[in-house]
Amino acid sequence: MKNQNRKLKFKFFLVFLGIFIYYGSFTSFASSLNKNQITIITVEGHLEHLNVEYARSEKEKSIGLMFREELDDDEGMLFIWDTDSLRQFWMKNTLINLDILFINSEYQVVHIEESAQKGSTSLISSKFPVKFVLEIKAGQSRLRNISPGAILSVKNLSN
């Protein structure tokens, strides 16, 4: 009986550990290990520094900021593709409202979707071909005076 109880406890532990590892990849603790600082140069010439995670792989892009319960004012995620194309996003499984900045291969912000609503399954389109998409906390583009025409500094885009 003691052996069966130990085995049951061990199985429970393994299941719990698996769930923790799987969902732990969505937490801000895990994501803070992969931060890169980028700079957006506003139309007025102000520098806005943000700590972002890069989403390069298809898996990283498909998960994005889903399941995150919070995002600091200076945090975000930068999605990176090899070429310009029309991009579409949705907010399914996203727990916080976001500003979505669409950036072309010339590093220029060409469109901003402000305050995209958490959980929405409506498609949000780039409207123009873009190579980068930056997701930040809702309201930050307005607070930081980031508007179409702002530039993503290329010197910050480390590999």
Residue extents of the structural domains in the chain? 35-156
Q: What's the rounded mean pLDDT across residues 123-136?
A: 97
For the residues of 15-71, what is the DSSP string, one character each? HHHHHHHHHHTTSHHHHGGGEEEEEEE-TTS-EEEEEEEEE-SHHHHHHTTTT----
CATH code: domain 35-156 is 2.60.120.1140
List strands edge to edge, sheet with 75-85. Answer: 109-116, 98-103, 130-137, 75-85, 47-55, 35-41, 151-152
Q: What's the rounded mean pLDDT across residues 119-131?
A: 96
Q: What's the rounded mean pLDDT across residues 134-145?
A: 98
pLDDT attached to residue 21: 41
Res. 28 pLDDT band, cuts 50 70 90: very low
Contact 116, 100 (CB under 8 A): yes
The label of the residue with tokens 């669409």 reads 102
pLDDT attached to residue 57: 94
DSSP symbol at 108: B
| Percentage of the chain exceeding pLDDT 70 | 77
pLDDT attached to residue 18: 45
